[in-house]
A and B are shown apart, each in its own frame.
Chain A
Amino acid sequence: MSAQTTDVLVIGSGFGGAIPAYYLAAGGARVTILERGPRLAADDFAHSLQLGTYNRIVDVVRGEGIAVVTGNCVGGGSVVYFAASLRAPAFVFERRGGTGRRIWPAALTRAALDPWYDRVEEALPVTRTDWSDVSYAGGILAAACRRTGHTCNPVPVAVDTDRCTNCNWMLSGCRFDAKRSMLLNYLPAAEAHGATIHPLHEVQSISPSPVSGHRYAVSYTVLDPDDYTCTATTGTIHAKVVVLAAGAVGTPVILQRSALLLGGIPAAVGRYFSGNGDRVSVADVNEDKVRTLLGLSRPDGVPYQGLPIGRPITAATYDYLDAEAPEYSRFSLQQIYFPSLTNVLAQAADPPHWFGIPARALRSRWKSWLTLLAMTEDDNEGTFSAVPPLTGSFTRLAPGLGLGTMTYRPTTRTRDGWRTADQALRGILERDGLAQVRPWSEDVAGAVTAHPLGSARMGDTAATSALTDTGELRGHQGLFITDGSAVPTSLTVNPSLTIAALAERAAPAITRRATQTGAEVRYGAPVPSP
């Protein structure tokens, strides 16, 4: 039997995988995409919190000191994310962290990335929203900001707002095809140019290919759709170029497992892991004061009770994104909704805070909660154990729940950043008793993030980065990493647009490398049309 071959093998089908897959396929290359999760479409996405529904496509991977929410389906994180589509502020690219020198590659500034952000915003597309799009919850944050002398913005989203029903089930995938996930733009465009997508194909390792004209052999297992811990078959595909985009929790583990096969990997793989500085708080809002202090009420006369209503992210304040402020003190504050699955993390004012009688009483006011996400500057202090699990990127304990190999112990600088953000939130929301704000407890899951980053990051210094500025793994020509693991630092905003822009920016370099390896492909396709 002849070996299975392709020009470009893409591992993962989220933002980082789908975007290069499209440009390479549109340019004429044979493109194969391996995705460990299942393929679902709008009709498959259930409005239900029953076990066996959302946890088919979302995983919570628990490490030491951190829990990460990740996508597990064709389209990856773009299917389950909340679609907030923001450019990272210019100062982020200038961050120095604990290194004493600029962390991002010199070639990457906000100005340099802006043309690529433009392309992504056109392709998804991103909608600039207005106040009529802002949910009741976002409205509370906005009005409280104004009352305390702060600005507040409607948040741009990758959502067709005409199709959106404001159902607030984004974590389960969009039932109405309103959320502009990779399922609606880059992936179908790649398939239209001949790319093939193989769901339930979990890549295990990458090694040099013995097949002439091919650089890498990628080994995978095929998973049982009803039990991801069961392996049906295994296989190997030989590729001229590999794009590794298995997510910031998956990518470093695949590389670690491949380290010996590849003759070594950069020391920065599995280090510098960041949770984007994410810090979630719950504000227990006083309904009467919404009316008396903010002058707000809904058409039905209820002042608020709007937590479960509307899109999960609609408003944010950029007031703390001050380029002149010291590093670790800058952050955005965003209104956000998490399904009631996370209620156990909410803390009441009285001890024992996250459980017992006070936490139960807090739940009785659930619809009056306002959940908030601070995205701060953390210290890239996360690491992955050098020993990967036997298969996959984590040990699956149950559907939707895994045990990862990462450890995250927040440094004093990260904690100072969180404390500063906590104080800012209290300043906005607690004035005159509008609300009581407390961060999520760290007792149950450590820090919780849906924004894993940095675990195989780009940079100019070999000692502190794994990738060149085009996303190529140092010392391994033709092996590119284009997912969140490539992002060098936390971003102070939701990372999806930046991951996507970096993947757009990497596409020409991937194309060049594919050409050098004998693939007939050229770069230059327009963005996929919406």
Chain B
Amino acid sequence: MPPHPEHPEHPGTSAPPARRTILSALTATVALLAAGQLPPAVSGAVAAETGATGWTVQTMEAFADTLIPGERRSSGDRAIAGAVTGPGAVQAGVIQTLTSPELPLAPLLPEIAALLNARALAYATLHLILLPPTLPSFVGLPFRHRTTLLGTLFDPGEPDRAIWQVLSLLTGLAFDSAAHLDTRQALDAHHPGLDWLDFPPPGADGLWRFPHYSYGKALATPHPATTPSGSPA
């Protein structure tokens, strides 16, 4: 079954999605992409939703914003919770990374968003939280509840844990390495994540070199049982 670009977890539109092993789907998608058999409508599903209002995009942004929070882009921003000032994963380009042509993930994002929103809906029901009907369920959760829910997704035994692990790694890559950009160009453009780390700049030729790298003096006594080559005995 192809991934659904709409919002299938929305109350009234369909039942919550059956839990799927997205990693299996990922594998299948890789095979389809390799064979050139993926329907264009499916691979274009996320591309068609590129605006900040897209259901999938909002959900993935809210997920990433819970991992690495940033400030709201505008007063009407709902995907970003606005828990801090300064940049977060969304500003750092998490959507560009998740939809990178280097990764086979884009066609699966609607499914993954649906899975997260189903979890958010269940969480909200359990905690008697009223969700706005116009937003994806996860986006409708306040920041502290997003945080609590997200923490539980990584519990050992969570059936979809692997999906959230892969997404977390990619969110980290977007912020900490500007994964969708050449590092030098990202630094030139003041990529928010690399700037946040104060990532050192390269030399004029685009390569890194550190002529000053050492305190240059003996700072400890070596172990008495060290071999001539410097190994432990």
Q: Which residues of A contact B (CB under 8 A)?
A: 47-52, 55, 62, 85-87, 89-90, 117, 121, 126, 128-129, 131-136, 139, 142-143, 145-146, 150-156, 165-169, 175, 227, 229-230, 296, 298-300, 306, 308-310, 315, 317-319, 321, 332, 339-344, 352, 355-357, 359-360, 363-364, 366-367, 395-399, 401, 403, 443-445, 493, 497
Q: What 1/0 flags go to B77-107 for Cβ under 8 Å of A?
A: 0000001100010000000010010111100
Q: How far is the CA of A497 from the CA of B232 in the complex (A)?
A: 13
The 6 closest A-B pairs by CB, nearest first: A344-B172, A152-B220, A156-B230, A49-B177, A142-B219, A87-B231
**Are A51 and B84 in touch, CB under 8 angstroms?**
no
Q: Report chain A residues within 8 Å CB of B214.
A: 131-136, 139, 310
Q: Give the residue of A47, A230, A343 whose beta carbon is less than 8 angstroms from that of B208.
A: A47
**Interchain nearest-CB distance for A285 vs B (Å):** 14
Q: Report chain A residues within 8 Å CB of B227.
A: 87
Q: How far is the CA of A166 from the CA of B206 in the complex (A)?
A: 15
**Interchain nearest-CB distance for A409 vs B (Å):** 10
Q: How far is the CA of A395 from the CA of B84 in the complex (A)?
A: 39
**Interchain nearest-CB distance for A234 vs B (Å):** 15
Contact of B39 with A by CB under 8 A: no
**Interchain nearest-CB distance for A462 vs B (Å):** 32
For the complex with contacts A55-B102, A310-B210, A497-B231, 20 further pairs of A-B residues with Cβ separation under 8 Å are A48-B183, A48-B184, A49-B173, A50-B181, A51-B100, A51-B173, A134-B219, A135-B213, A145-B220, A151-B224, A153-B220, A317-B220, A318-B225, A318-B232, A340-B199, A352-B151, A356-B147, A357-B84, A396-B30, A444-B154
Q: List 16 A-B residue pairs with CB atoms under 8 Å apart, sorted by A's residue number.
A: A134-B214, A136-B213, A146-B219, A150-B220, A227-B34, A229-B34, A299-B212, A308-B199, A318-B232, A341-B173, A342-B172, A352-B151, A355-B68, A367-B197, A398-B103, A497-B231
**Interchain nearest-CB distance for A346 vs B (Å):** 10
Q: Which residue of A lies closest to B97 (CB)?
A: A51
Q: How far is the CA of A87 from the CA of B179 in the complex (A)?
A: 36
Q: Which residue of B lies closest to A134 (CB)?
A: B214
Q: Report chain B residues within 8 Å CB of A169.
A: 208
**Are B230 and A357 in touch, CB under 8 angstroms?**
no
Interface residue count on the B side (C-beta < 8 Å)? 77
Given A165-B210, A167-B207, A341-B177; A153-B154 close (CB under 8 Å): no
Q: Give the residue of A51, A309, A341, A493 whose beta carbon is less than 8 angstroms from that of B172.
A: A341
Given A128-B228, A135-B213; A367-B198 close (CB under 8 Å): yes
**Are B84 and A166 in touch, CB under 8 angstroms?**
no
**Are A151 and B31 in touch, CB under 8 angstroms?**
no
Q: Report chain B residues within 8 Å CB of A357.
A: 69, 83-84
**Are B209 and A167 in touch, CB under 8 angstroms?**
yes
Q: How far is the CA of A126 from the CA of B228 in the complex (A)?
A: 12
Which positions 14-71 of chain B face chain A at CB distance < 8 Å? Answer: 23, 26-27, 30-31, 33-34, 66-69
Q: Which of B1-9, B122-130, B131-139, B160-168 contacts A (4 or more CB under 8 A)?
A: B160-168
Q: Report chain B residues within 8 Å CB of A363.
A: 68, 175-176, 196-197
**Are B233 and A90 in touch, CB under 8 angstroms?**
yes
Q: How far is the CA of A117 from the CA of B213 in the complex (A)?
A: 30
**Interchain nearest-CB distance for A477 vs B (Å):** 35
**Are B220 and A143 in touch, CB under 8 angstroms?**
yes
Q: Report chain B residues within 8 Å CB of A136.
A: 213-215
Q: Report chain B residues within 8 Å CB of A298.
A: 212, 215
Given A136-B215, A230-B34; A340-B177 close (CB under 8 Å): yes
Given A132-B214, A367-B198, A396-B30; A126-B229 close (CB under 8 Å): yes
Given A50-B181, A51-B103; A168-B210 close (CB under 8 Å): yes
Q: How far is the CA of A128 from the CA of B207 in the complex (A)?
A: 26
**Are B179 and A131 in touch, CB under 8 angstroms?**
no
Contact of B226 with A by CB under 8 A: yes
**Are B182 and A50 in touch, CB under 8 angstroms?**
yes
Q: Which residue of A lies closest to B208 (CB)?
A: A167
Q: Which residue of B lies closest to A49 (CB)?
A: B177
Q: Which residue of A lies closest to B27 (CB)?
A: A395
**Interchain nearest-CB distance for A91 vs B (Å):** 10
Q: Report chain B residues within 8 Å CB of A86.
A: 230-232
Contact of B109 with A by CB under 8 A: no
Q: Give the residue of B34, B196, B212, B215 whose beta carbon is less than 8 angstroms from that of A139.
A: B215
**Are B232 and A332 in touch, CB under 8 angstroms?**
yes
**Are A47 and B184 in touch, CB under 8 angstroms?**
yes
Q: How far is the CA of A417 from the CA of B26 in the complex (A)?
A: 36
Q: Which residue of B lies closest to A126 (CB)?
A: B229
Q: Which residue of B lies closest to A317 (CB)?
A: B223
**Are B23 and A397 in touch, CB under 8 angstroms?**
yes
Q: Report chain B residues within 8 Å CB of A50.
A: 177-183, 186
Q: How far is the CA of A90 from the CA of B147 in the complex (A)?
A: 48
Given A229-B30, A443-B154; A398-B223 close (CB under 8 Å): no
Contact of B76 with A by CB under 8 A: no
Question: Which of B147, B186, B215: most chain A Cβ within 10 A?
Answer: B215
Q: Report chain A residues within 8 Å CB of B173.
A: 49, 51, 341, 344
Q: How far is the CA of A249 from the CA of B198 in the complex (A)?
A: 36
Q: Which residue of B lies closest to A492 (CB)?
A: B232
Q: Report chain B residues within 8 Å CB of A151.
A: 220-224
**Are B198 and A401 in touch, CB under 8 angstroms?**
no
Q: Report chain B residues within 8 Å CB of A167.
A: 207-210
Given A48-B183, A152-B222, A308-B199; A131-B216 close (CB under 8 Å): yes
**Are A397 and B26 in touch, CB under 8 angstroms?**
yes
**Are A51 and B180 in touch, CB under 8 angstroms?**
yes
**Are A359 and B215 in touch, CB under 8 angstroms?**
no
**Interchain nearest-CB distance for A431 vs B (Å):** 15
**Are A343 and B231 in touch, CB under 8 angstroms?**
no
Contact of B169 with A by CB under 8 A: yes
**Are A399 and B102 in touch, CB under 8 angstroms?**
yes
Q: Which residue of B lies closest to A50 (CB)?
A: B182
Q: How far is the CA of A52 from the CA of B67 in the complex (A)?
A: 24
Q: How far is the CA of A321 from the CA of B67 in the complex (A)?
A: 38
**Interchain nearest-CB distance for B88 vs A (Å):** 7
Contact of B189 with A by CB under 8 A: no
Q: How far is the CA of A90 from the CA of B232 in the complex (A)?
A: 9
**Interchain nearest-CB distance for B112 vs A (Å):** 13
Q: Report chain A residues within 8 Å CB of B166.
A: 62, 397, 401
Q: Report chain A residues within 8 Å CB of B204.
A: none
Given A154-B230, A156-B231, A444-B154; A360-B219 close (CB under 8 Å): no
Q: Which residue of B lies closest to A114 (CB)?
A: B227
Q: Report chain B residues within 8 Å CB of A89.
A: 232-233
Q: How far is the CA of A415 from the CA of B209 in the complex (A)?
A: 39
Q: Report chain A residues within 8 Å CB of B221.
A: 146, 151-152
**Are A360 and B69 in touch, CB under 8 angstroms?**
yes
Q: Give the residue of A121, A134, A398, A403 whose beta carbon is less than 8 angstroms from that of B104.
A: A398
Q: How far is the CA of A230 from the CA of B30 in the complex (A)?
A: 10
